[in-house]
Chains A and B, each alone.
Chain A
Amino acid sequence: MKIDKALIERVARNARLELGESEIKEFLPQLKEILGYFSEIEKAPTANLPPTFHPIEIKNITREDVTEKGLTQQEALQNTKHKQDGYFKGPKTI
């Protein structure tokens, strides 16, 4: 696998990050080194082993489908500057 500038830019775009030239220059050798080391797990003997998503068995947690008290509209909006008429105000979507 080739880790180059184009790949890092593609990954960053997917993650909604824009990296400056100096960041890319710094990250490129670091990511090569890290991913080179991480690739060691290729050798791990995992044939026929299932993946473990949680370290201990987790069961679905459900509750009665009844209305409960949640945040008030004011509380939900108290941490944003972008609001109007009791709604969040976002950037253009189309």
Chain B
Amino acid sequence: MNTKEYLEKVKSKEVSVVKTVEKILQEAKNSPNHFTAISKSYALEQAEKIEKDPMGKLAGLPVSVKDGICVRGIESAAGSEILKEYRPPFSATVINKLEKEGAIIIGKTSQDEFGFGGFSVNTKKIPRNPHDITRSCGGSSGGAAGFTAFTTQPHLALGESTGGSIANPASFCGVAGLTPTYGLVSRYGLIDYANSLDKIGTIGKKVSEAFLGLYHIAGYDEKDSTSLPQKILPEKKIKKIAVIKESLEVDKEIKDVILSKIKNYDIISLPLIKKYSIPAYYLIALSEASTNLAKYCGLRYGQTLPLKGNFNEFFTEVRSKFFSKEAKRRIILGTFARMSGFRDAYYLKALKVRTLILNEYKKAFKKYDVLISPTMPIIAPKFDEIKKLSPLENYMMDILTVGPNLAGLPHLSINAGFKEKMPVGIMLIANHLEEEKLRTLGEEIERS
């Protein structure tokens, strides 16, 4: 039974919401580390209410939520130690919107600490890939994509992407990951990584499920100062598509899988994006992250120590104890890029490079409706392979996903096939607010 059929049967009371929720909660518990918290009693309470009175367009739909998105009363730590046991006194706007339509929050999914990583290994609870548990789910929304592939029940996952954190795990786990236009979905209640890049998006087994979720979470929100008043543009016919030439410099099998899924395409070169998007992305993301993480100092929330010394000594002690190595590395890099004497050469220059990258995309969209590339240059790596990567090699894995994220462009990763029995994702990129083009082409590829 697909999600659409399930939702119809909930309305006509032909299916039990309680039983469905019981089953999915059991799967969440049995999943290989996909959850950091399971809201069992809350979910069952909601399920009973909704079974009796199925109000709302998503009545009875189980939803898993990336740990970094706040849900009132449920531990929301963004995969970190420093926010362990933090229970927000409020819910993110996306949660309120979904609950208003009758969706049922089943728990929080595992992720890299604050989104810092592409393999969900920078956290205590490391999610494992359901296709092969010796391999990563990808990241940073690893638990979200992993569980979407794992579950047998109707389900929607909320993820978040700063530089590829939805597309990457969707590719590695063989599911549909949709990252919307920057600003289309409210960030209110999202634990920030980098404000000018963070986007909440959706993950489903199929394109239609990811879009069903998006339609219900999108929309202007006065609580988010970067929320867009515009709506998704109406569906238009796709006339021309192009594959990004530089993105094909990957493993031949991955390239062949991608090209076998599309026809009537041009090949276009976007050299500046390939050359400069990684440094520009990381300089901007880490500059913003280093300021966002300043608030974790053991005072108002999160882990703490007994009050001792002056405020500088106390804050330093708490931060040094509870931030992981990767968070410290990123804070150092971001603080450096913003420091007097280096700011112009790094942070400001990166912002100008972002303009350059946006211009390159915008020029391509004058001619093409959708740009295409593999989502990731590799299949999901094994955990022992990840251990051998240096921090820079880790960052380089984002080479194909940082471009559209830096430019705030909507992009969709869907499964295109397999290599060594592991999923290979194809990524479709459209111009701002042209999500419908991704849906049209995505569903066509899915059917092929």
- Give CA–CA (A41, B139) in the complex, Å: 26
Q: Does A5 make an interface contact (CB < 8 A)?
A: no
Of B13-21, B91-99, B123-131, B345-353, which stretch is located at the interface?
B345-353
- Residues A56 and B307 in contact, CB atoms below 8 Å apart: no
- Give CA–CA (A85, B225) in the complex, Å: 33
> Shortest distance in angstroms between A83's beta carbon and chain B's nearest beta carbon?
9
Name which of A35, A44, A58, A89 has the most chain B CB atoms within 10 A of its CB: A44
Q: What is the interface size of chain B, counting residues whose CB is below 8 A from a CB of the partner?
A: 78
Chain B residues with CB below 8 A from A58, complex form: 183, 225-226, 228
Chain A residues with CB below 8 A from B356, complex form: 44-46, 49
> Shortest distance in angstroms between A52's beta carbon and chain B's nearest beta carbon?
4
- Residues A93 and B311 in contact, CB atoms below 8 Å apart: yes
Q: Which of A1, A15, A53, A71 contacts B332 (CB 8 A)?
A: A15
- Residues B272 and A16 in contact, CB atoms below 8 Å apart: no
> Shortest distance in angstroms between A51's beta carbon and chain B's nearest beta carbon?
3
B interface secondary structure, majority: helix
> Shortest distance in angstroms between A77's beta carbon and chain B's nearest beta carbon?
8
Interface set, chain B 249-285, CB cutoff 8 A to A: 272, 275-276, 278-280, 282-283
> Shortest distance in angstroms between A57's beta carbon and chain B's nearest beta carbon?
9
Q: Does B406 make an interface contact (CB < 8 A)?
A: yes
Q: Which of B182, B299, B345 contacts A54 (CB 8 A)?
A: B182
- Residues B353 and A80 in contact, CB atoms below 8 Å apart: no
Given A15-B332, A80-B300, A92 and B86 contact (CB-CB distance below 8 Å): no
Q: Which of B227, B279, B307, B325 contacts A38 (CB 8 A)?
A: B279
- Residues A17 and B339 in contact, CB atoms below 8 Å apart: no
Q: Does A65 make an interface contact (CB < 8 A)?
A: no
Chain A residues with CB below 8 A from B432, complex form: 55-56
Chain B residues with CB below 8 A from A53, complex form: 196, 351
- Residues A11 and B339 in contact, CB atoms below 8 Å apart: yes
Of B52-60, B104-112, B149-157, B312-320, which stretch is located at the interface?
B312-320
- Give CA–CA (A58, B408) in the complex, Å: 12
Chain B residues with CB below 8 A from A41, complex form: 276, 279-280, 283, 346, 349-350, 353
Q: Which of B279, B294, B311 contacts A37 (CB 8 A)?
A: B279
Chain B residues with CB below 8 A from A42, complex form: 345, 349
Smallest Cβ-Cβ distance to A15: which chain B residue? B335
> Shortest distance in angstroms between A39's beta carbon and chain B's nearest beta carbon?
8
- 11 A-B pairs with CB atoms under 8 Å apart are A27-B328, A38-B282, A38-B346, A41-B350, A44-B352, A76-B300, A88-B300, A89-B307, A90-B299, A91-B314, A93-B311
Residues of A near any B CB (own CB < 8 A):
1, 7-8, 11-12, 14-19, 23, 26-27, 30-31, 33-35, 37-42, 44-46, 49-56, 58-61, 63, 71, 75-76, 78-82, 88-93
4 A-B pairs besides A26-B325, A51-B348 with CB distance below 8 A are A16-B294, A35-B333, A76-B300, A91-B310
